[in-house]
Amino acid sequence: MASEQAFRQPHRYRLDTDVRGSGPALLLAHGAGGGIEGNFGLVLDDLARDHTVIGPSYPGVGRTLLPEAPLDLDALADALAAAAVEYGHERFVVIGESLGSAVAIRAATRHPERVTALVLTAGFAVADPALGGAAQLIAALGKAGEWRAVARLAALACLSERRLTAMSPEEVEATVEGVLTGMPSGTPAHFELITRLDVRDELDQVRVPTLVAVPTGARLVLPDSSRRITAGIARATLVEIPGAGHILDAADRAVWLGHVRRFLAGLVR
């Protein structure tokens, strides 16, 4: 079994980890070019009311060092699981967002004795041509130091059509500036990993209850990617967040939280 061998070996990544709350463990897997606060900040305190929320930062985010070699999905999934174990939690639910959904799936198949359930939001098992092309472009622009272009592309791709068409040019520029300010150095490496990963053959190996949340207005990771994940995992349930973009705003995140709360409550029955 991959898990025991992985935990006997030195990990290639040691992830800077935020831990809060107490109770059953929720292990967070954030998206590319994001972070725990950026993806989950709106719900961290709520989830920590009755769970231990463990939020590791990927290489190139926060104080986690970025290696010279390209990122490896196995190593990232192993390091994510190791972070929970390090803080005393042998079993945990993994909540993955975007790229984090693929990381969560790989963690579930490499560490099946530890992962008890999955929550996958705006996820994909492999990049479709649109996401793959965007990921290649973001990776190339970031490596070339064109950070403002990366921020503009990411901001425009992550907003829903509803949000984008309601914004003034000044609001768009302010959004781009905000993305630029908060963008981690590991962003190009994260998107380069997206161009290579493929967990489609692992979906039927996931044996745990899985909630798949699809933002129906997403334009970076298209809704059909989440639907394909749902079709491939035997115990998966799909819920929609109508009109939501790739990055959930406060109202859409509240809808997400309601679905997740109901799912978590059902696990303990």
Q: How many CB atoms lie within 10 A of CB 239?
A: 18
> What pTM value is reported for the model?
0.93
pLDDT of residue 63: 94
Residue of 114, 110, 79, 75 lying closest to 93 (CA atoms): 114
Give the confidence band of 10 by pLDDT, cuts at 50, 70, 90: very low
| Mean pLDDT, range 32-57, rounded to an integer | 96
- Does residue 193 sit within a domain? no
- Taking the alpha carbons of 92, 97, 100, 104 in that order, is the dihedral positive or negative? positive
Residue of 123, 126, 155, 119 lying closest to 221 (CA atoms): 123
> Is pLDDT at 4 greater than 80 in this prediction?
no
DSSP labels, 129-177: HHHHHHHHHHHHHHHTT-HHHHHHHHHHHHS-HHHHHT--HHHHHHHHH
| Mean pLDDT, range 62-71, rounded to an integer | 94
pLDDT of residue 12: 81
Task: Please indicate, yes or no, whether residues 165 and 216 belong to a single structural domain of this protein.
Answer: no
- Cα separation, 25 vs 4, in Å, equals 20
Task: Please indicate, yes or no, whether residues 256 and 203 belong to a single structural domain of this protein.
Answer: yes
Task: Please indicate, yes or no, whether residues 120 and 133 belong to a single structural domain of this protein.
Answer: no
Task: Please indicate, yes or no, whether residues 99 and 204 belong to a single structural domain of this protein.
Answer: yes
Triad 237, 114, 21: Cα angle to 5°: 85
Task: Please indicate, yes or no, whether residues 145 and 119 belong to a single structural domain of this protein.
Answer: no
pLDDT of residue 5: 44
Mean pLDDT over the full length of the chain: 93
- Does residue 61 sit within a domain? yes
With contact defined as beta carbons under 8 Å apart, do 212 and 94 qualify? no
- Taking the alpha carbons of 71, 120, 79, 36 in that order, is the dihedral positive or negative? positive
Task: Please indicate, yes or no, whether residues 168 and 47 belong to a single structural domain of this protein.
Answer: no
Task: Please indicate, yes or no, whether residues 32 and 109 belong to a single structural domain of this protein.
Answer: yes
Alpha helices in the chain (DSSP H): 2-8, 36-40, 44-47, 73-86, 99-110, 129-143, 147-158, 161-165, 169-182, 187-196, 223-232, 250-267
- Does residue 261 sit within a domain? yes
Task: Please indicate, yes or no, whether residues 143 and 245 belong to a single structural domain of this protein.
Answer: no
- Cα separation, 141 vs 24, in Å, equals 41
Task: For residue 15, give both structure tokens.
Answer: 């992830």
> Is pLDDT at 151 greater than 70 in this prediction?
yes
Residue of 99, 60, 56 lying closest to 195 (CA atoms): 99
- Does residue 189 sit within a domain? no
- Domain holding 152, by residue range, is 129-182
- The per-residue pLDDT for range 160-216, each reduced to its tens digit, is 888 888 999 999 999 999 999 999 999 999 999 999 999 999 999 999 999 999 999
- The per-residue pLDDT for range 80-92, each reduced to its tens digit, is 999 999 999 999 9
- Does residue 137 sit within a domain? yes
- Count structural domains, the chain: 2
| Mean pLDDT, range 57-66, rounded to an integer | 95
Task: Please indicate, yes or no, whether residues 147 and 232 belong to a single structural domain of this protein.
Answer: no
> Is pLDDT at 108 greater than 50 in this prediction?
yes
Task: Please indicate, yes or no, whether residues 48 and 139 belong to a single structural domain of this protein.
Answer: no
Which amino acid, 116? T
- Does residue 133 sit within a domain? yes
- Does residue 205 sit within a domain? yes
Task: Please indicate, yes or no, whether residues 85 and 177 belong to a single structural domain of this protein.
Answer: no
CATH, residue 91: 3.40.50.1820
Name the more confident of 4 and 157.
157
Bridge-based pairing of strands 17-21 and 52-56 is antiparallel
- Does residue 191 sit within a domain? no
Task: Please indicate, yes or no, whether residues 75 and 35 belong to a single structural domain of this protein.
Answer: yes
With contact defined as beta carbons under 8 Å apart, do 232 and 159 qualify? no
> Is pLDDT at 100 greater than 50 in this prediction?
yes
> Is pLDDT at 8 greater than 90 in this prediction?
no
> Is pLDDT at 64 greater than 60 in this prediction?
yes
- The per-residue pLDDT for range 255-264, each reduced to its tens digit, is 999 999 999 9
